[in-house]
Structures are given as structure tokens and as C-alpha cells.
Amino acid sequence: MTVFALAVGGFIGTLLRYGLGESMPTLTNGFPVGVLAVNLVGCLVVGWFFTAAEVRWTLRPEVRLGFGVGTIGAFTTFSAFSVQTVELIQDGRLAIAALYVLLSALGGLLLAYAGVCLAKVKKKEVTR
């Protein structure tokens, strides 16, 4: 069951990544906006999901793995980030490569932390 959950999640994440990546064009300066957006969204979602799954919900392990590792793991793409960074460097676009690495690393960490914090926020009770 775990392998099936991972496979289904991976399939969904791959389709989502492809769709979002295709909808966001690369800028004329070669900055890979699509992969950056996908990875940053993935960092926020994975931080939120694994924290919420721990503190708010009781989920079967297959669901946690299927969505967290399968879907979000397939949605984000470290390999594309790495290759695009190397290509920017080889093309002599060092400033763009540095900005891409900085935004990816710091943005990813900040958004993962934001996701963790969002998952820990308790709903306020409405009193009448």
C-alpha cells in the first residue's frame, strides 16, 4: 500500500509541476521563474503539511507518505534547479545564477518555516 501511495502521489506531483512550470515562462534574461516558483511553493506546502499532520490530524502513514513525499517530492525539483544554475553559470550569467541560488535557498527555508508556523496557528474561537 505504501508503494502505491508513493506512486500515485508522485504521478500527481509530476503533473502539477509540469503544468505550473509550463504556465510560467522563462524571462528574457534566462531566470528560471517556473522552477523557482514550484520549489518555493513546495517548501511552504511541505513545511505546513508535515507539521499539520503531526499536530492537528491523525493520518495513516500511507497518506503522509503519498502526499508529503510522493506528491510534494515529485512536485519540487532540485535536479532542475541544479542544472539550470549550472547552465546560467556556463552562459556567463553569474549574477542571475547567484540570485537564483540565493532566492531558492533562503526563500525555500523561509517558506518552509512559514508553513510550519501556519500549521501551528490555532483557530480563534468566535464568541458571541
Residue 69 has a CB neighbour count (10 Å cut-off) of 18
Which conformational region is residue 110 in: left (phi greater than 0), alpha (psi within -120 to 50 degrees), or beta? alpha
89 pLDDT more than 90: yes
Distance, in Å, from the CA atom of 55 to the CA atom of 118, rounded to the nearest integer, reads: 11
28 pLDDT more than 80: no
pLDDT above 90 as % of the chain: 46
The helix or strand, by DSSP H or E, that contains position 22, with its residue range, turns out to be helix 2-23
24 pLDDT more than 80: no
Q: Give pLDDT, residue 23.
A: 82
Say whether 71 counts as a known binding-site residue. Answer: no
Which conformational region is residue 51 in: left (phi greater than 0), alpha (psi within -120 to 50 degrees), or beta? alpha
Say whether 26 counts as a known binding-site residue. Answer: no
